[in-house]
């Protein structure tokens, strides 16, 4: 069952998203060679609680940490450990929080120091695929329009879409209906209506699409050990177009005004 959000609820989700975007921006600046994944996790936990929010991943189905940290051939849900980041690593950060009862969920992949050309291409294609998917998140379109646009961009760049994990509705629960696959057929699936909020999250492998679960029960890796990247935003479907909730608000004025992907002439805040 899809739960539609009121304007007031989307206001709260916008606040949640802005705080999460700040947390991710902070993590991005400290993700340097030598820092451990656990140090990033502790900083995220501290930051989120410091803003009066709950790091919602903690305790979620037994998960123990505030963020997921997935390195190189790890796709998503990597558990933060004492592993130190090294020059050339590809780090996917995934974070979520609860603010006044509502979730924000977002993430991104960042290169640590200088990364390979292939890694950069994978990162760029994945980020672009999210942008392209978000552009399809328009009233009157269907979920399949988002899915197909993402898949087409990823495969056009020579990479593959992970099929075992998908995006999702988000609200008072992190995972709500509908599912938002990163592959599919345009014109199919649930109709997009105002008040829907979707976490759109392409997971893209440099090699084959197949993934496996590590023995820790969480970490998802590519079967062929190829690199993987991931970007995620929580996005509200509005009559005025998609609104990215999990982007950094650059000024107070923008904090009050919706930061529209389309319609305000300001561009989309799509850069992470
Ligand atoms: N953010 C992830 C998602 O989009 C979920 C993280 S799993 C958790 O589905 F256990 F860490 F919460
Ligand atoms: Co998600």
Residue 193 pLDDT > 90, yes or no?
yes
Structure tokens at 197: 């909020």
Residue whose tokens read 């389309």: 262
Ligand positioned closest to the Cα atom of 96: 1
Q: Where are the domains of the chain?
A: 7-255
* pTM for this predicted structure: 0.92
Structure tokens at 7: 């304007």
At 236 the pLDDT is 98
Mean pLDDT estimate for the chain:
93
Ligand 1 residue neighbourhood (C-beta within 6 Å): 57, 60-61, 63, 68, 77, 94, 96, 105, 199, 201
At 264, the pLDDT band (50, 70, 90 cuts) reads: very low
Pick the CATH number of 7-255 from 3.30.465.10, 3.20.20.70, 3.30.200.20, 3.90.230.10: 3.90.230.10
Q: Which atom of ligand 1 is nearest to the CA of 68?
A: 11
**Cα angle at 189 between 107 and 223, to 5 degrees?**
50
At 268, the pLDDT band (50, 70, 90 cuts) reads: very low
205 Cα: distance to centroid of ligand 2 (angstroms): 17
Q: What's the pLDDT tens digit per position in 58-100?
A: 999 999 999 999 999 999 999 999 999 999 999 999 999 999 9
Residue 270 pLDDT > 80, yes or no?
no
**Cα angle at 132 between 150 and 76, to 5 degrees?**
50
Nearest CA residue ID for atom 11, ligand 1: 57
CA 130 to chain centre: 9
In whole angstroms, give the CA distance from residue 39 to residue 31: 9
Of 107, 266, 99, 68, nearest to 201 by C-alpha is 107
Mutate to test the pocket of ligand 1, among 24, 44, 169, 174 (most ligand atoms within 8 A of CB): 174
Q: Which residues of 40-52 are buried (b: 16+ CB within 10 A; e: fewer)?
A: bbebbbebbeebe
Nearest CA residue ID for atom 8, ligand 1: 57
At 115 the pLDDT is 98
In whole angstroms, give the CA distance from residue 66 to residue 39: 11
- Tell me if 269 sits within 8 A of 258, measured CB to CB: no
118 Cα: distance to centroid of ligand 1 (angstroms): 27
Torsion of the alpha carbons at 21, 49, 96 and 242, rounded to the nearest 10: -40
Residue whose tokens read 């940490």: 65
At 105 the pLDDT is 98
At 251, the pLDDT band (50, 70, 90 cuts) reads: low
Q: Which atom of ligand 1 is nearest to the CA of 95?
A: 1
């Amino acid at each position: 069952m899809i739960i539609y959000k009121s304007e007031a609820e989307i206001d709260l989700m916008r606040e949640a998203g802005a705080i999460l975007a700040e947390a991710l921006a902070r993590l991005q600046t400290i993700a340097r060679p030598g820092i451990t994944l656990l140090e990033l996790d502790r900083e995220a936990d501290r930051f989120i609680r410091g803003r009066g929010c709950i790091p919602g991943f903690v305790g979620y189905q037994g998960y123990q940490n505030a963020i997921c940290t997935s390195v190189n051939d790890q796709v998503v849900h990597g558990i933060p450990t004492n592993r130190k980041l090294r020059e050339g690593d590809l780090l996917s950060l995934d974070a979520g929080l609860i603010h006044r009862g509502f979730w924000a969920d977002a993430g991104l992949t960042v290169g640590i120091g200088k990364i390979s050309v292939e890694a950069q291409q994978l990162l760029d294609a994945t980020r672009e695929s999210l942008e392209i998917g978000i552009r399809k998140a328009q009233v009157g379109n269907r979920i399949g329009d988002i899915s197909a646009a993402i898949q087409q961009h990823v495969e056009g760049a020579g990479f593959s879409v992970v099929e075992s994990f998908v995006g999702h509705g988000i609200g008072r629960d992190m995972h709500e209906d509908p599912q938002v696959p990163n592959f599919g057929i345009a014109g199919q699936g649930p109709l997009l209506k105002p008040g829907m909020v979707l976490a759109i999250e392409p997971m893209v492998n440099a090699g084959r699409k197949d993934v496996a679960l590590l023995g820790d029960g969480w970490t998802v890796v590519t079967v062929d050990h190829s690199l993987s990247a991931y970007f995620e935003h929580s996005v509200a479907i509005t009559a005025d177009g998609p609104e990215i909730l999990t982007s950094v608000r650059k000024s107070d004025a923008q904090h009050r005004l919706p930061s529209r992907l389309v319609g305000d002439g300001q561009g989309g805040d799509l850069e992470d």
